[in-house]
A and B are shown apart, each in its own frame.
Chain A
Amino acid sequence: MKGLAFDVSHLLAGGLVLISFMLLYQDRLYALLNVFALQAVVLSLSVAWQAYVQDADHLYVTALIALAFKAIVIPVALHRIIAELGIQRDVENVVGVGPTMLVGLALVALSEVVMLRIASEADALAREDLAFALSVVLLGMLMMVVRRNAVSMVVGFMSLENGLILAATAAKGMPLVVEVSVAFSVLVALVVIGVFLFRIAERFETVDANALDRFRGDRR
């Protein structure tokens, strides 16, 4: 049982990291959102498995929240936003898939090295989930750095938050209140970001972040 529990959680957490790489690889917006929804589904599976293994019922609620908000509400909302903005045909010019992947690999290796040392006292399951969670967080940040389209930056931010949830479930004893409030703050963030996106698109007629550079205060 111990071996199976470890293997399945390894599979699911590794799958999350893999989907983070798929997000980095994908440069079409709708496909990006679908991959993001897939990541949320895998995340909720992973959380549910943790709930089963740890016998923690409140984690089932977390899994349900992740499934409902991240796999359904947020992708649908972003779909709508993209359709409203009329940017569904945009293909992004990212930094280049090859270098991005290499940087991503280096980040994963870094987080493994760091986490496996730091959390050497925790049990194997938690250590591994923490290591994968840190890589998902770092890959989300990388996504926010390399992308230029504001919508995919939002997706990067949301996938970063997926990593946080994974970390929170791996560490035993995270109260449900915190999880619920985190989930709602993400929803609020989505609303704020949505408003911002529309304002940016209205003002500059694009959601390409490069267009914003000219309006930075420090470049006089």
Chain B
Amino acid sequence: MIVDLVFQLLQMTLVIAVAPLLTGLVRVTKARLTRRRGPPLLQPYRDLVRLARKEAVVADAASWLYRFVPYLVFAATWVAAALVPTFATGLLFSWSADLIAIIALLGAARFFLALAGLDIGTSFGGLGSSREALFGALAEPAMIVIVFTLALVAGSTQLSTVVAHMVSSNVGLRVSLGMALVALIIVALAENGRIPVDNPATHLELTMVHEAMILEYSGRHLAVIELAAMLKLVLYVSLTICVFAPWGIAIADASVADRLLGAFAYVAKLMIGGVALGAFETSIAKMRVFRVPDFVGAALMLGFLGALLLFVSRTLK
């Protein structure tokens, strides 16, 4: 019991410790691929420390909600990240909630962030909130359908069970899983505001989404929000890793050595994912905002198609 708790806490610290590193790695990869020197790998940590030390300026029109939202968003994202089996399945918290709860937590975080964007009453905030709501309205059903596909394959929406099923050899070759993977990547790109949907490097541009909502935040509030955004990226990358590339993960009741090995494998896979994301972002152009619903709609369609095909092969076998 105590050991379980220790590993759960270790997992929670690991995701939060590695989050700025992943963001830094994506930035370095993008800089190197465009032949720039770019910021050092550890720059996001320094940025967070710098922001946390600065004074937090709050707009006059802001209500109490505005002050609470950063912490709410961060807490919801952190809890969601704690539920993902990163290096070992069957951690202490993982039985308390399933994939749908993770989606709900992230949805709640999105809702409060959009509310904070509206709260101060600037036009940029409202613009960002409305776009975030538009993308979310498409990305969330797509995510739910992906979960259905996974649940049809593994027989459970519980992430630990899904991962255990994926590690075992009776998965077979399934086109539905490929579709679910592509759909999950599209959803992850949209949710994290990565390049074809939103450019994370821009500030003060008419097409920005996430940046527009948090434009008025400063100081420690901004630091917390930035950390939550980095955490969300880690969450989606680890979700993809643990479902579609679970090699090396420690199954429940594994020995301590296995779990440590799993942690190393996890961090390595995370870094590979970060480099891949950077390479992908460099090779693609940003989309027009009004093309994004089509793009995310394609994820929804893929998820549906995957579930449909799975249903067919189930009835045949």
Q: Which residues of A contact B (CB under 8 A)?
A: 3-4, 6-8, 10-11, 14-15, 17-18, 21, 25, 97-98, 101-102, 104-105, 108-109, 112, 116, 124, 127-128, 131
Check B313 for interface membership: any CB of A closer than 8 A: yes
Check B279 for interface membership: any CB of A closer than 8 A: no
Contact, CB under 8 Å: A21 / B308: no
List, in ascending order, chain A residues with CB within 8 A of B317's CB: 6, 124
CB-nearest residue of chain B to A131? B312
With A21-B301, A97-B297 already in contact, the answer to whether A11 and B316 are too (CB < 8 A) is no
CA gap between A25 and B298 in the complex, in Å: 8
Contact, CB under 8 Å: A112 / B301: no
Contact, CB under 8 Å: A128 / B305: no
- Of B175, B178, B312, the residue contacting A116 (CB under 8 A) is B312
Contact, CB under 8 Å: B173 / A14: no
Contact, CB under 8 Å: A7 / B174: yes
Main secondary structure of the interface of B (DSSP, over half): helix
Contact, CB under 8 Å: B308 / A10: no
Contact, CB under 8 Å: A112 / B297: no
With A101-B297, A116-B316 already in contact, the answer to whether A7 and B173 are too (CB < 8 A) is yes
- 22 pairs, CB–CB < 8 Å, chain A vs chain B: A7-B172, A7-B174, A8-B173, A10-B173, A10-B175, A15-B175, A17-B305, A17-B309, A18-B179, A21-B301, A21-B305, A97-B294, A97-B298, A98-B294, A101-B298, A102-B301, A108-B308, A109-B308, A112-B308, A112-B312, A124-B317, A127-B316
A128 to nearest B CB, angstroms? 6
List, in ascending order, chain A residues with CB within 8 A of B178's CB: 11
CA gap between A18 and B175 in the complex, in Å: 9
CA gap between A218 and B260 in the complex, in Å: 77
CA gap between A14 and B313 in the complex, in Å: 10
Contact, CB under 8 Å: B301 / A101: yes
Check B202 for interface membership: any CB of A closer than 8 A: no
Top 3 closest A-B pairs, CB basis? Answer: A14-B175, A7-B173, A97-B294
A213 to nearest B CB, angstroms? 27
B297 to nearest A CB, angstroms? 5
CA gap between A131 and B313 in the complex, in Å: 11
Contact, CB under 8 Å: B305 / A10: no
When each residue 291-316 of chain B gets 1 if its CB lies under 8 Å from chain A and 0 otherwise, what string results?
00110011001101100110011011
Contact, CB under 8 Å: B308 / A11: no
List, in ascending order, chain B residues with CB within 8 A of A17's CB: 305, 309
A143 to nearest B CB, angstroms? 15
List, in ascending order, chain A residues with CB within 8 A of B172's CB: 3-4, 7
Contact, CB under 8 Å: B298 / A14: no
